[in-house]
Amino acid sequence: MDINALQTRLGHTFRNAALLQQALTHRSHSSLHNERLEFLGDSVLNCVIASLLFDRFEKIDEGDLSRLRANLVKQQSLYEIAQHLELSQCLRLGEGELKSGGFRRPSILADTLEALFGAIFLDSGFDVAYSVIKELYEPIIETVDPKTLGKDAKTLLQEYLQGKKFSLPQYNVVATHGAAHNQEFEVECSIPKLDIQVYGTGGSRRAGEQAAALLALAAVQAALENSPSLPRKSRQRTTQLKLAGIATFQPDAPENKSEDTRKSVKQSRASVQQEQEQESLLPDSDDPTKRVTQSKSA
């Protein structure tokens, strides 16, 4: 791809072609390279993305806005945009970087894209740089989920379980493989209440936990989505008779009972009270004129 094709993809034609050439030059190529432009472009990019997010998400707080911005301007995001622009075909690299495949390296492509943003800012001002960055990022921002973007697998799993009122997952290192300087950790993630037990591996304990958490999250979501919803059992009021000095009666039937039911209830109450009075009045051995009530357990 030639320089003109790149400018078409960017949506900006440079008035100062030297700025574009410098932005595409890696330090391995010559002393007039793109690192200063990269520094400038990084600041311009952060400002534009902050403005776009501020306008797009009106109800999220500063912390979530910062998290979203950090993930949109990180190396991987820049690398993917650079790939879309086919930027690797326009890089100016030294012989060593060319032989080692530097034109495919994410860090070089991401830095070059930031240098391009800085060069556009110097060439035509902030408004033009804003328009170019907005055009590249708007399709991405439209698909962003502010609740999940930038959160690692362990955080997402924890928040999902808490939202469903389940206890937190348990992580255990079950095995390590390889030499001491190049170990691989096998980590178990278990959620006993859902009978879920998965294993993840990584170059560190943290990486293993993240891998296991990602598998567990998928397993939990599948388990809860596929499980049939259980109907709620209605609580039927049952007749209860408690004798603890006071007799209480809770009928099953609704308030609009028939006359026969009302009579039956009254007779039951009278019978219970009469029996209670007869059995609970006993003479006192010290004072025959007094009566004491002996509690009868229900």
Sign of CA dihedral 210, 215, 216, 218: positive
* CA 56 to chain CA centroid, nearest Å: 20
Residues in the chain: 298
- Catalytic annotation present for 114: yes
Per-residue burial over 123-135, b if 16 or more Cβ lie within 10 Å, else e, is: bbeeeebbebbee
174 strand-pairing partners:
none
For the question of residue 2 being annotated catalytic, the response is: no
Question: Out of 42, 97, 111, 209, which one is annotated catalytic?
Answer: 42
Which residue has tokens 């390590």? Answer: 176
Instruction: Single out the catalytic residue among 97, 114, 123, 188.
Output: 114
Helix ranges (DSSP H) in the chain: 3-10, 17-23, 35-56, 62-72, 75-84, 95-99, 106-124, 126-142, 153-163, 205-226, 259-280
DSSP 188-248: EEEEGGGTEEEEEEESSHHHHHHHHHHHHHHHHHHHHHHSPPPPPPP------EEESSSEE
**Rounded Cα gap, residues 92 and 2, in angstroms:** 12
Radius of gyration of the chain (CA): 37
> Catalytic positions, please?
42, 114
